[in-house]
Structures are given as structure tokens and as C-alpha cells.
Amino acid sequence: MSRFTTDSIIAVIGAGTMGAGIAQVAASAGHPVLLFDTAAGASQRGIDNTAKGLSRQVSRGKMSQQAADELIARITPVSQMTELAPAALIIEAIVERLDIKQQVFGQLEEICSADAVIATNTSSISVTAIGATLKRPQNLVGMHFFNPAPVMKLVEVISGLDTDPQIANDIYALSASWGKQPVLAKSTPGFIVNRVARPFYAEGLRITQEGAADIATIDALMRECGGFRMGPFELMDLIGHDVNYAVTCSVFDAFYHDQRFLPSLIQKELVDAGHLGRKTGRGFYDYSEGAQKPDAKTAAPYPAPKSIIVEGELGVAEPLLALFEQAGIQVERTDNDEVEGMITIGDATLMLSNGQFTTMRASETMRPNLINFDLALDYTRSTRIALAPADQASDEAIQAAIGLFQAIGKSVSVIDDIPGMVVMRTVCMLANEGFDAVNQQVCDEAAVDIAMKGGVNYPCGPIEWVNNLELSYALDVLDNLMDAYGEDRYRASPLLLRKVAGGAA
């Protein structure tokens, strides 16, 4: 029998945006909800704000007025913590301070029944550490919602060292009954999302730090080529650099300064200057009135080639060939399947990035007019592509490559030669961190993909993505990044090494 039913009373502590949102989620599922906040009148304000949000849904025809009224009626504001005594589950959504959370949960243990479950919505504090001072740490579990809680599907269900596994499973089932996508994870720094997501920001920052591309072009490539809803700089500006930088520093410190989580000096400069993003009117972009967002660098138009020659297999880029043919370009395939997949246009050669400098790859393959192109989520739907020519490539070769992709409707951004380009290195690093979380028993592979799609709206789970790319190819990209930089940051996860060695594609 389930520990929780729709008759179970759910209590929420903290009536801010997150707490009120969690209360709305529980009430939407039919539970009676108690909403408590230490600030006078805050609980009622939280309910009023929820009612305003629901009224907008009513006006858009997304719910009836009766349904909205019934939902609000299920949420009761309370002014004393003692009034939470009847609750079967108490969810805390208060300030991110260990001492305050321990104090609140200690009080709840005195107020609530011995079998009441207490959950923390912490995004960064160890569930094990919170439970260290409790009498019943087995009843404590992490229940990490994402903002806005009524909209975002993911709930990370986090087990501390002493959490009763059955309680974690019950919270998982409850979250699913609320229409959420729960994942089980162990209490480690960053849990799943805040850990696996670090390379999304870090690689963008590294690329711009090295001058390979400007921020507007990187953002455009991640959106229009990678399929992400926002690029890393847009997203950091939205989150706030004080918050995003603090999370990065927290994870970096918690992992004993593992270089994979190294914070960026570029972002630190913004924090030090008070340029925190949208909330201050300036971050990577200028949000002041009348300011114009810079455009991505896009190549001028060039004529399409009449024909191309394809050698070897292009792997995930194979769909490009049908697009070229539809554009009236003659595609000739050779019988030589022993070589790496490549497209030749006269003296120009195009290859999918493998994590090397194009210049180095050109030297090794003795193809001076080599141009690497970037990974795309879906080559048939992407509207932009990045090209990175070798230093020795001629202008004519670069123009031929640009014209080829323009012929199939792609905007082309020519970036400086950088290992792994933009989308390829970011996706491989995201997947690598996901594999490392699995390898360290934080969660399973499915949880990584569910978490990243449900928690931060990734267009594809990173592990799923590199499986489509082929794990051996992703490993080559990481190994080549490691060779290019000589930094531990790009070391391949032992799990990825093992999978490839064991015969995974």
C-alpha cells in the first residue's frame, strides 16, 4: 500500500516562488495543503500570487474557474509551525543554509508524528549533512523541484546516507502521481542536474575565452545547430551570474577542486563588477532600454558547388547527403570505406569534428584545405552550422564549403580553429559527466537523460545523444581534447572507456 493518498496532508515551509509553486503542485493533485512561512502574511501572499497565476490560465482557456477555485481552496495558510502536526509529508523550500534547515527539521521532529516524511528542496546542500543532527534521519529525503515548480517536470529524489530506501521510493511514486518525472539519486555535490550541466556553461566560456567565437555566435550555434532552447550566455544571464557562479564554485569546492568543474575568470569578472545578467540590466548582453542584441556572425553568400565526392561513412552527418541532392548538387560516393568519412569539393575537404584542431588534423591527413564542421542535433532541421577551417586552408576552399551548406538553407558561422568546435565538445562533455555520475553510483543512465531533459529542457539526453553519435566517436573527441589541452578536465569517464572497450558502438 502506498504511504501517501490524496487524503494525505502535505505541508510546505516557505511561501516564496518555489514554495508556493510546490503547494500548487500538491493541491493540483488533490491533496489538502498547509502553507507556512515565518514572515507575517507571506503564506497568504503566496496563495494570492498562485491565484493570480491561475486566473491567467482561466483567461487563456487552459482551466475552468471552478477548477482554479477548488485548487486554491485546498491550500490553507498557517501562521505557526505547530499547525503542521497533521502533515504526512513536509517539504521545506527555505533559504540555502545548512544550520537553518537543521533547525527547522529538528523542530518538525518534535511537532510531527514519528512516521512523517520530511523533505528538503535544497539544490546544493548535502541531504546527509542536513540529517546529521536529526533524531530520525531515515525520514529525511531530498525532493528537488525546478523553477517554476508547476511547469517543470523533473523532481530529483535524493537519498542521504541514512535515508530509508522505502521512503525514497514512496516519494518517487508520489512525484509520479503528481505528473512529474522523478529520478532517484544519491546525495552528492550538484545531485544530477547541477553537476551534469556544468560543461554547458564551462565549454561556452572556454570557447569565448580563447577567442574562437563571440558570445552571440556561440549562443546561436547552440540554439540553431544544437537544438537547445537557449545558448549558455543567454541562460547564465537569465539565471544570474551570482547564482550560476556560486553553484559552479560550490561544486568545484565539493569535489576537492576537480578541474572538470573549474570556475571561469570571465564569469567572476562579471560578478565582481555587479553585472549579474537580466536582473541588473547587464551581463554578457546589455538589457538596458534601447540596447540591441548583437547578431551571430554569419558568412556572406557564396555559390553552391555543382558536385561533391563522399568517401567513407559520415555517421550522424549522413542525412546531409540527401539534402545536397535535393538542392541539385551531384553526390558521388567512392567505394573506399577504409577512410574517415569526408566530403571533397575540388581541393576542399570537409569532415565532422573529432575533437582535434582542424589545423592538426589537416597536417596529419595531408589535406591542407581541410574544414571541420560541427555536430548538429538534427542535420535535416538545423538552421545553422559552424565551420572551422585549418590555418592553411585557402579562401577558395572555405568559400566552397560555405556555399555547400548555404545551398541547403543553412546559415554558416565560420569560427576560429578550436578543438571540438562548439556543439560537439559541449555535448561530449555533458555526456562524459553523465557517465561519471553513473560510474560513481549517483544514478543510472536513464536518470541522467530524464533529468537533463526535464530539469533544464535539453533537446536530447546527453547519453542518448552520444549513443546516436557512437560512443567510440565521443571517446575519440574527448581523447583529442585531452591531447590538445593536456588538462585533466577532459579525461574520459571510466564507464565510457569500459563501454567502448566492451564493444559498445
pLDDT tens digits for range 130-148: 999 999 999 999 999 999 9
Does residue 205 fall inside a structural domain? yes
**Locus of grid cell 529525503:** 141
Specify whether 61 is located in the same domain as 197.
no
| In the predicted structure, residue 485 carries a pLDDT above the cut 80 | yes
Q: Looking at the structure, tell me whether residues 16 and 56 fall in a common domain.
A: yes
Residue 491 has pLDDT above 70, yes or no: yes
* Same domain assignment for residues 158 and 48: yes
pLDDT tens across 214-223, in order? Answer: 999 999 999 9
User: Does 274 fall in a domain?
Assistant: yes
Q: Which residues pair with 414 in a beta bridge?
A: 387
The pLDDT tens digits for 147-171 are 999 999 999 999 999 999 999 999 9
Catalytic residue, from 8, 28, 43, 144: name it: 144
The x, y and z cell numbers of residue 482, run together, are 585531452
β-pair type (154-159, 307-311): unpaired
257 is catalytic: no
Are residues 122 and 54 located together in one domain of the fold? yes
- Point out the catalytic residue in the list 28, 92, 121, 156: 156
Domain count of the chain?
3
Q: What is the enclosing helix (H) or strand (E) of 401?
A: helix 395-406
Q: Supply the DSSP symbol for 38.
A: S
For residue 505, the model assigns a pLDDT of 61
CATH of the domain at 260: 1.10.1040.50
Interhelix angle for 494-501 vs 471-485, to 10°? 130
Beta bridge pairs of residue 157: 143, 184
CATH of the domain at 139: 3.40.50.720
Cα–Cα nearest to 451, from 26, 14, 128, 158: 158
Judgement on whether residues 168 and 269 belong to the same structural domain of the protein: no
Which of 209, 254, 208 is CA-nearest to residue 231?
208
Cell (9 digits) for 464 = 542518448
Q: Are residues 289 and 373 in the same domain?
A: no
Last residue of a domain, one of 162, 187, 212: 187
Domain membership flag for residue 492:
no
Cell of 142: 531530498
Would you say residue 493 lies in a domain? no
Look up 144 and say whether it is catalytic: yes
Residue 504 has pLDDT above 90, yes or no: no
pLDDT: is 411 or 340 the higher one? 411
pLDDT higher than 90, residue 336: no
Residue 29 within any structural domain of the chain: yes
pLDDT digits (tens, 9 = 90+) for 17-58: 999 999 999 999 999 999 999 999 999 999 999 999 999 999
pTM of the model: 0.94
Q: Say if 364 falls within a structural domain.
A: yes
Q: What pLDDT shows up at residue 339?
A: 77
Q: Say whether both 385 and 284 belong to one domain.
A: no
For 80, counting Cβ atoms within 10 Å of its Cβ (0-12 exposed, 13-18 middle, 19+ buried), the class is exposed
pLDDT single digits (tens) 443-454? 999 999 999 999
Give me the numbers of helices (H) and strands (E) for the chain, helices first please: 20, 15
Whether 123 sits among the annotated catalytic residues: the reply is yes
* Pairing between β-strand 75-78 and β-strand 33-36 as defined by DSSP bridges: parallel
With cut-offs at 50, 70 and 90, classify the pLDDT of residue 1.
low
Closest by Cα among 332, 339, 335 to 314: 339
**What's the average model confidence in pLDDT over 258-276?**
97
CA 417, CA 357: separation in Å to the nearest integer? 6
17 & 126 share domain? yes
**Average pLDDT for the chain:** 96
Exactly one of 126, 175, 194, 250 is catalytic; name it: 194
258 lies in which domain range?
193-295+423-458
Kindly name the residue from 121, 123, 413, 480 that is annotated as catalytic: 123
Give the CATH number for residue 398.
3.30.750.190
What pLDDT band is residue 503 in, cutting at 50, 70 and 90? confident
Distance, in Å, from the CA atom of 114 to the CA atom of 109, rounded to the nearest integer, reads 7
Residues 246 and 353 in one domain: no
Q: Tell me the mean pLDDT in the region 90-117.
A: 95
Residue 285: predicted pLDDT? 97
- pLDDT the model gives residue 340: 87
Residue owning grid cell 564551462: 202
Stretch 268-274: mean pLDDT = 97
Domain match, 403 and 429 both: no
Q: Judge if 55 and 142 occupy the same domain.
A: yes
Question: Do the domain assignments include residue 485?
Answer: no
Environment class of 72 (CB within 10 Å of its CB; exposed 0-12, middle 13-18, buried 19+): middle
Q: What type of residue is 232?
A: P
Strand, helix or coil at 358? helix
Residue listed under C-alpha cell 555587479: 274
Q: Where among 187, 219, 244 does a domain terminate? A: 187
C-alpha cell at position 23: 503547494
Average pLDDT over residues 217-244: 97
Tell me what the mean pLDDT of segment 65-72 comes to: 96
- Cell representation of residue 34: 498547509
73 contact partners, CB below 8 Å, separation of at least 6: none
In a domain, 463, yes or no: no
| Same domain, residue pair 366 and 427 | no
Cβ proximity of 372 and 361 under 8 Å: yes
**Among candidate residues 187, 218, 234, the one where a domain is terminated:** 187
